[in-house]
C-alpha cells in the first residue's frame, strides 16, 4: 500500500477538487480520486472522509492510502534505462536525466521512469516519499533534461527537502525561447496555478495560485530565438515554461505551452537543468555540478547560429 501525505492550500476547497490540484504529478483523474474517497482511502486531519463535497480548510493534513497494485513487482526494476550518475557518495547521488522520461511511476506509466532505473541499480534510496518515489526529493518534467538530486537515506532526504524549501539549493537552467528578448536581464513575478480552461496545464492566474518568481539573463540572441539562463526562486509545476509563455516567449518546441504554428520535433522543449550548487547536508562540503547540453540541444544552437549568418 502506498501512502501519500499532503498539506492543503491556503483556501477552502471541496476534497475531490483539491486533490486534483495537489496530485498533478501523479496523473490521477478526478473520477479515480472520487473512487479513493468512496473506498475510505482518504483522511483529513485523522478523520476518514467519504464525501467528495467535503470542504477542506486551509492548513489541513490529508493522508491518502492507495490500494491500487500500481507497482507490479515484475515491472519495478527496469535495467534497460541508462542512468547517467555524475556524482555519488554515501548519502546522495545526482543524475543527469535524459529527455523523454518521467521521474517516478504513475497510473499511466508504471515501469519506464527514473525510479524504475534506480531500483534496478540496487542503490540504497530514502523511503520518505513512499514506494512510488523512493529517493526523489524534487522533479524535472518528462521532456526537460539535466540534473536531478536523489537521496539515499531518510536523514539526507529531510535535510535536502528543507534546503529546497528555504531556497538553499541553487539551480540554473538553460532554455531556448521563441522570439528575441530585448532586455539583457529580467524578472518574472507572476502567480501560477491550475489552468481554468485546461486542467492538465498550469497558467498565470490569481485563482488558487501560488507565488512564482523566475529570473533570467540573455546568453545569446538569434534571428528568431533567444538562449537564456534562468533561475527559479520558487518551485512551481512547469514554472519556467509557464512564465516564458506568459511574457510571449514560450520555450522552443514546447508541445504544451508553445505557439501553435511552431514545427515541433520529438525532442520536446529546449530546457536543460544544467547547474547545481549546494552545501552537502551531511558532510557540509560545497558541491557545484554542471551538466553538458544534450546533443540535440547543442545542435539546435548551432543551427540557430547558422540562421544568424544567412
Kindly write down the DSSP assignment for every residue of 210-230, as one continuous string.
E--EEEEEEEEE-SSEEEEEE
Q: Which of 82, 141, 189, 310 is catalytic?
A: 141
Helix (H) or strand (E) holding 231: strand 225-232
Kindly write down the DSSP assignment for every residue of 174-212, as one continuous string.
EEEEES---SSEEEEE--EEE-SS-TTSEEE-SSSEE--
Is 141 catalytic? The answer is yes
Q: Residue ranges of the alpha helices (H) in 97-210?
A: 114-120, 154-165
Strand partners, 90: none
d(C-alpha 207, C-alpha 17), whole Å: 13
Give the SS3 label for residue 251.
strand
Strand partners, 47: 44
Catalytic residues: 141
Amino acid at each position: 500500500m502506498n501512502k501519500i501525505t499532503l498539506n492543503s492550500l491556503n483556501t477552502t476547497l471541496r476534497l475531490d477538487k483539491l486533490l486534483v490540484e495537489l496530485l498533478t504529478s501523479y496523473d490521477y483523474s478526478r473520477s479515480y480520486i472520487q473512487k479513493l474517497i468512496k473506498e475510505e482511502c482518504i483522511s483529513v486531519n485523522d478523520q476518514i472522509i467519504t464525501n467528495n463535497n467535503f470542504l477542506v480548510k486551509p492548513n489541513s493534513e490529508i493522508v491518502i492510502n492507495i490500494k491500487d497494485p500500481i507497482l507490479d513487482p515484475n515491472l519495478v526494476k527496469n535495467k534497460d534505462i541508462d542512468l547517467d550518475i555524475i556524482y555519488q557518495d554515501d548519502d546522495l547521488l545526482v543524475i543527469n536525466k535524459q529527455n523523454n522520461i518521467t521521474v517516478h511511476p504513475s497510473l499511466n506509466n508504471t515501469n519506464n521512469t527514473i525510479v524504475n532505473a534506480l531500483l534496478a541499480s540496487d542503490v540504497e534510496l530514502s523511503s520518505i516519499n513512499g514506494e512510488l518515489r523512493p529517493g526523489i526529493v524534487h522533479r524535472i518534467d518528462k521532456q526537460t533534461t539535466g540534473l536531478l538530486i536523489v537521496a539515499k537515506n531518510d536523514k539526507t532526504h529531510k535535510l535536502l527537502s528543507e534546503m529546497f524549501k528555504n531556497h538553499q539549493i541553487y539551480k540554473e537552467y538553460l532554455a531556448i525561447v521563441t522570439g528575441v528578448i530585448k532586455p539583457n536581464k529580467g524578472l518574472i513575478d507572476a502567480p501560477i496555478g491550475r489552468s481554468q480552461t485546461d486542467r492538465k496545464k498550469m497558467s498565470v492566474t490569481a485563482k488558487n495560485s501560488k507565488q512564482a518568481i523566475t529570473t533570467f539573463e540573455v546568453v545569446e540572441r538569434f534571428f528568431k530565438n533567444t538562449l537564456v539562463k534562468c533561475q527559479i526562486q520558487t518551485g512551481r509545476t512547469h514554472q519556467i515554461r509557464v512564465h516564458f509563455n506568459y511574457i510571449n516567449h514560450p520555450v522552443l518546441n514546447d508541445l504544451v505551452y508553445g505557439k501553435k504554428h511552431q514545427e515541433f520535433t520529438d525532442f520536446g522543449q529546449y530546457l536543460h537543468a544544467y547547474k547545481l550548487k549546494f552545501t552537502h547536508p551531511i558532510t557540509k562540503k560545497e558541491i557545484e555540478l554542471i551538466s553538458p547540453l544534450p546533443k540535440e540541444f547543442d545542435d539546435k544552437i548551432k543551427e540557430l547560429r547558422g540562421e544568424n549568418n544567412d
